[in-house]
Structure 1
Amino acid sequence: MDNKAMFNLSYGLFILTAKDGEKDNGCIVNTVGQVTSQPNRISLTVNKANYTHDMILKTKEFNVSVLAENSKFETYRHWGFQSGRNTDKLESISFKRSANGLVYIADETNAFLSAKVVSTLDLGTHTLFIADVTDGEVLSQVPSATYSFYQNNIKPKPASTEKRKGFICTVCGYIYEGETLPDDFICPVCKHPASDFRPL
């Protein structure tokens, strides 16, 4: 199978936020979609390696800020390339709180949704959350950033890779140096599997 065929599915990009006690956190996801309108429900799939995953599993609440085409790569780096387990992601970041007390990001986004989990499904490496939408607001008219738009217009092109042997993650650009990439390798930055790497 050509795994690159999966890249042609249409995905949005979102900042997912949650709160456990006094600790706020968030990460980048591309797995939010509406599943029903009556009741208004969305699905969300989160990698179990993400700290935000554990917070949602415990508290059953989250917010989703919809990233817009005017979003900058530094925003993706900040929310997606470091762990909230050892970083305060809200330090020096402009944010607001919705009625549920959770953070949402108003800059570089065009809407936010608040949601309460009604069911979960264990998918092995990820958990699928089904949640009722409890609040939402349109923040701007800038179009939503799709995964394809991010790849073509926001993510920097990798530096020259001539004379280097290794593999590059097609999701975040992380480079694994070496002759062979282990089948069970997981990207240390974005947590995607070896199937999302290509040779340099």
Structure 2
Amino acid sequence: MNTKAMYRLSYGLFVCTVKNGKKTNGCIINTAIQVASSPNRISIAVNKANYTHDMLKETGRCNVSVISTEAEFELFKHFGFQSGRDVDKFDESFNAKDYRIAENDIPYITKGTNAYFSLEVKESVDLGSHTLFICEPVMMEVLSDAASCTYEYYQKNIKPKPQPVGKTATGKTVWRCTICGYEWEGEELPDDFICPICKHPKADFEKIIR
């Protein structure tokens, strides 16, 4: 069985944002699709390793911003290369001009996106590594005419090309995802590690000594 067939499936890229009390957070997801039209339903799958998952599970509300081809790599780094458990993704490091607050009091991203949806969870399904949330869209708006960013477009046009690396004086061990370029620092990558950006497993990471 050639598991690389999975790479042939088409994906979009989105920022899923949530709010629980005073805490606001968000992460990159690659599955958000309309699954029914009457009633209108959108499904999103969120990795359980993401803090956004736990907040959404508790509150049942989120916004999904559709990333466009005008997005810059910094957007992916900000929402995908760090955890909301460790940082405030909506502090002063994220420009207030790049997002707005929707009617549900949750931010949605305006820079590098072309639409957003405010969603309310109607049911959820445990899928193991992810939870599938079946949601009702209660608000939606078009933000720009730019084309939606596919996973393939991100790979070819937004993600920085890998740079040659080797041993340096620091001697740090880094595991780099060969799919999206995400890097994790540590001696041993856990066997059950899932890339927070592209959701690929440990088998798709390469070990680098810096």
Partner in structure 1 of residue 110 of structure 2: 106
Q: Does 1:23 align with 2:23?
A: yes
Give the distance between the partners of 1:88 and 1:176, measured in 2 at CA.
19
Q: What RMSD in Å do the two structures reach over aligned CA positions?
A: 2.6
Question: Are residues 155 and 108 of structure 1, via their aligned partners in 2, closer, same or farther at CA, if it must alter by over 3 Å?
Answer: same
> Does the 8 A contact of 1:3 with 1:195 survive in 2?
no
* Displacement after TM superposition at 1:160 (Å): 1.2
Q: What SS does structure 2 have at the residue aligned with 1:173?
A: coil
Of the three residues 173, 177, 181, the one matched with 1:169 is: 177
Question: Are residues 170 and 64 of structure 1, via their aligned partners in 2, closer, same or farther at CA, if it must alter by over 3 Å?
Answer: same
Q: What SS does structure 2 have at the residue aligned with 1:171?
A: coil
User: Pairwise mapping of residues 1-200 of structure 1 onto structure 2 (< 5 A)?
Assistant: 1-92=1-92, 93=94, 94=96, 95-161=99-165, 168-174=176-182, 184-187=191-194, 190=197, 192-197=200-205
Q: What SS does structure 2 have at the residue aligned with 1:42?
A: strand
Can you give the 5+ residue segments of structure 1 that lack an aligned partner in the other structure?
none
Question: Are residues 23 and 162 of structure 1, via their aligned partners in 2, closer, same or farther at CA, if it must alter by over 3 Å?
Answer: closer
Give the distance between the partners of 1:65 and 1:197, measured in 2 at CA.
28
> Does the 8 A contact of 1:172 with 1:189 survive in 2?
no
> Does the 8 A contact of 1:120 with 1:128 survive in 2?
yes
TM-score, normalised relative to structure 1: 0.88
* Displacement after TM superposition at 1:130 (Å): 0.2
Give the distance between the partners of 2:80 and 2:182, measured in 1 at CA.
12
Can you give the 5+ residue segments of structure 2 that lack an aligned partner in the other structure?
none
Question: Residue 202 of structure 2 aligns to which amino acid in structure 1?
Answer: A
Give the distance between the partners of 2:81 and 2:124, measured in 1 at CA.
26
Give the distance between the partners of 2:174 and 2:102, measured in 1 at CA.
44
Question: Residue 7 of structure 1 aligns to which amino acid in structure 2?
Answer: Y
Give the distance between the partners of 1:30 and 1:120, measured in 2 at CA.
17
Identity %: 50
> Does the 8 A contact of 1:158 with 1:173 survive in 2?
yes
* Displacement after TM superposition at 1:192 (Å): 3.4
> Does the 8 A contact of 1:169 with 1:187 survive in 2?
no
Q: Deviations 1:56-102 (Å, cap 9, x if unpaired)? A: 10000110000000100011000000001111101132311111111
